[in-house]
């Protein structure tokens, strides 16, 4: 058992993790004609919790309960993985990326998220407002505007040959590159990072 735990703590190669993620799509389609995606679960939660007569939330959300269970499973799995199976090694980041991040003041690679940004202390600062509140709103708005999140479009949409998903994924990538290489530096300076 100890060897298994040590093995599972190691990063999995792409040729194992990729097919496992990719097989989620046909499994969901085969077992119940379900589409893979995470962002729709927020709509289901709102439909459960908001008793108002809002047309967007007026549907049979109980049919989509599997999606809520799926997301809860992801959250539990993430908690278990980071709490009990975390790899104790420092995260490997390319030297060029480390140099770029150091210019922005990010030097701690001891966890999955940069400690210089993602701390409770930063939550109630201008950085926190920009990154967590405004950034979270923009991600949520973009997800609804695009008709799904990156995982839904890139994994489910493209694999089922949906043209809008290919277009959405291309623009997700362009947006990520633009944010990283054009906007992140000025935004970090703006909030005093």
Do 126 and 177 belong together in one domain? yes
- pTM score of the predicted model: 0.69
pLDDT of residue 170: 93
pLDDT of residue 174: 94
pLDDT of residue 58: 82
Kindly report, residue by residue over 7-35, the tens digit of the pLDDT. Answer: 777 777 889 888 888 888 888 888 888 87
Task: Name the token pair of 7.
Answer: 């093995």
Do 62 and 124 belong together in one domain? no
Where helices occur in the chain by DSSP H, the ranges are 2-9, 14-32, 40-49, 65-84, 95-103, 120-123, 126-128, 135-145, 150-151, 158-159, 163-178, 184-190
Q: Which of 65, 86, 107 is the last residue of a domain?
A: 86
Residue 5 located in a structural domain: yes
Do 124 and 73 belong together in one domain? no
Do 81 and 127 belong together in one domain? no
pLDDT of residue 76: 95
Low-confidence ranges of the chain (pLDDT < 50): none
Residue 107 located in a structural domain: no
Do 125 and 75 belong together in one domain? no
Contacts 24+ apart (CB under 8 A), 171-175: 171/146, 172/146
Residue 108 located in a structural domain: no
Residue 123 located in a structural domain: yes
CA distance 70 to 57: 20
Residue 69 located in a structural domain: yes
Do 2 and 81 belong together in one domain? yes
CA distance 186 to 105: 13
Look at the chain and report how many structural domains it folds into: 2
pLDDT of residue 86: 76
Domain of 64 in residue numbering reads as 1-86
Sequence-ordered list of residues with C-beta below 8 angstroms from that of 35, at least 6 positions apart, any chain: 28, 29, 152, 156
Number of CB atoms found within 10 A of residue 39's CB: 20
pLDDT of residue 192: 67
Q: How far is CA 89 from the centre of its chain?
A: 23
Residue 94 located in a structural domain: no
Percentage of the chain lying above the pLDDT 70 cut: 98
Do 1 and 54 belong together in one domain? yes
pLDDT of residue 193: 63
């Amino acid at each position: 058992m100890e060897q298994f735990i040590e093995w599972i703590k190691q990063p999995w190669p792409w040729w194992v993790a990729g097919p496992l993620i990719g097989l989620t799509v046909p499994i969901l389609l085969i077992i119940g004609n379900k589409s893979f995606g995470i962002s729709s679960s927020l709509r289901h939660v709102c439909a459960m919790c908001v008793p108002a007569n809002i047309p967007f939330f007026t549907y049979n959300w109980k049919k989509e309960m599997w999606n809520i269970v799926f997301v809860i499973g992801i959250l539990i799995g993430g908690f278990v993985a980071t709490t009990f199976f975390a790899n104790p090694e420092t995260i490997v980041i390319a030297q060029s990326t480390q140099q770029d991040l150091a210019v922005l003041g990010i030097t701690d690679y001891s966890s999955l998220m940069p400690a210089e940004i993602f701390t409770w202390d930063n939550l109630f600062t201008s950085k926190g407002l920009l990154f967590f509140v405004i950034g979270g709103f923009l991600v949520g708005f973009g997800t609804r505007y695009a008709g799904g999140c990156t995982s839904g479009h890139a994994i489910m949409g493209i694999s089922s040959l949906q043209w809008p998903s290919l277009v959405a994924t291309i623009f997700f990538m362009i947006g990520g590159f633009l944010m990283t290489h054009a906007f992140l530096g000025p935004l970090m300076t703006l909030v005093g990072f």
